[in-house]
Amino acid sequence: MKIIVTGYKGQLGTEIIKQLRAGKSEIGPIPEKLLNATVIAVDLPELDISNYKAVDDYIRRFKPDVIINCAAYTNVDGCEVNHDAAYKANALGPRNLAQAAEKMGARLVHVSTDYVFSGRENGGIPQDEACLPDPISAYGSTKLMGEKYVARFCHRHFIVRTAWLYSYYGKNFVKTIVNAGKKFGKLEVVNDQLGNPTNAVDLAHEILQLCVTHEYGLYHCTGEGICSWYDFASEIIRLAGVDATVAPCTSAEYKAKHPDSADRPHWSALDNRALRCSVGNEVRPWQEALACFFEHWDGDNGMK
């Protein structure tokens, strides 16, 4: 089997490559079909997925069985300012990959986000794959357009929505909170936005389980359990053993201090219903996955 991983330098791409090379994750083994896979990892500047011809030529040249698209413009505030760039990376890029995959008969795994939802719905019920998206930011709207293109142009697709992703590698909320706690000793974090912290290990593990099947469609894949950013930050500080305090604030208070920031969903908790009902949901409770992260994180950009 031949697999192309786009955006491999990011948090998820790095973790997927690691699991493919190791043949396992912290959760368990990867599928047997992937143990001897040929893995082609690509990122900017070698391949710009928003360039239709470049993508078409690249996929024709390597003829993959599976494409896992981890490439995206994920700076939520940046997407508001650079809407064209966000559209190119988050919408046109997936479209180009979908069309190229369809020509080759390849399977396409496309990673999307909880930000396709408005977050204005009833806050008591996690949103499953049957819930209708209604994004309130440029990031969410461009990612939703990418989903639509993938579903339209590639029959063998897996669209996998995730949320609040963190990893041993790259920049993320966990590392930001640890570093800010050490530097300032006191943090304010919003407590009226709720969702699901997700360890990249769990997401990568589930993607690799899915990509060898024919159970195509839309999936949610996030850490089990719901919390606020404040709850998440408090647990990060506790597990890191940092001498710092975390105080709650509202989204309105944060917006007043950061007027250029994009609107975020207040309720974007997802339910992994499609995973449970098909290949199985092995994603860990978010507290367990976060504790495991701190057991293995080297404090910088990798593992002990």
Residue 139 annotated to the active site: yes
Residue 242 Cα to chain centre, angstroms: 27
Strand partners of residue 219: 160
Instruction: State the CB neighbour count (10 A cutoff) for residue 76.
Output: 18
Note whether 221 and 198 are within 8 A (CB): yes
How far apart CA 217 and CA 159 sit, in angstroms, is 6
* Residues whose CB is less than 8 angstroms from the CB of residue 157 and which lie 6 or more positions away in sequence, other chains included: 98, 101, 107, 108, 109, 110, 150, 151, 216, 217
**90: three-class secondary structure by DSSP:** helix
Q: Which residues of 150-160 are buried (b: 16+ CB within 10 A; e: fewer)?
A: bbebbebbbbb
Which spans in the chain are helix H? Answer: 11-22, 52-62, 76-81, 83-87, 93-104, 138-153, 173-184, 200-210, 229-240, 251-257, 273-276, 286-296
Identify the residue whose tokens are 């997927």: 16
Catalytic residue among 58, 139, 149, 230: 139
User: Which residues have a catalytic role annotated?
Assistant: 139
